Amino acid sequence: MSLLQNPYFVVPLVAWAIAQTAKVIIDSVLLHRLSVRRLATAGGMPSSHSALVVSLTTIIGRMQGIQSPLFALALIFSSVVMYDATGVRRAAGQQAMILNRLLDDLFIAHRGIHQVRLRELLGHTPIEVIAGALLGVVIGLGLWR
C-alpha cells in the first residue's frame, strides 16, 4: 500500500489542506485582498492543527473502533494539541503582542534601537479550535469509505 492509499495519512492531510485554504479565503475576505501568506502562518480560523489531529482521531475510530488502544492514544494526542493551541501558544502570542507594543514605545523614545518584532499570532481562540475540530470530524467521517 502506498502512502497516498493510507487513510491515516490522506484524511488528516486533506483536513489540514482544507483548513489552511479556508484561512486564506477568510483572511482575504476580511482584508479585501488576497492573503496567500496565510498558508504559511500559525493561528487563525479554523485551526488546521485541530482539523488534522481530530480527523486522524476520527478515521482511527471509524476504522479501528473507539475501543482500540490506537483511538485512545489519538484522542489524548488531539486533546493535548487543542489544549496547547488555546492555552500555551495563545498565551505566548498575547505576550508577544505586549512585548511588541513595549518595543514600539521604546523605539519612539530611542530611535537608535533596532529589534525584530515577535510573531503575535501563535495560538487560537477556543472558537477557532472548535471550528477546526468540527472540520476534522466532518472530513474524518465523510472522506474515506
pLDDT digits (tens, 9 = 90+) for 54-94: 999 999 999 999 999 999 999 999 999 998 887 766 666 66
Do residues 48 and 129 make contact, with C-beta atoms less than 8 angstroms apart? no
State the helix-helix crossing angle for 126-142 and 69-86, rounded to 10 degrees: 150
Mean residue pLDDT of the chain comes to: 84
pLDDT of residue 60: 97
Return all residues near 13 (Cβ < 8 A) that are at least 6 apart: 52
Q: What is the largest CA-CA distance in the chain?
A: 63
Q: What is the pTM of this model?
A: 0.77
Model confidence at 143, pLDDT cuts 50, 70, 90, reads confident
Is the confidence at residue 37, as pLDDT, over 90?
Answer: no
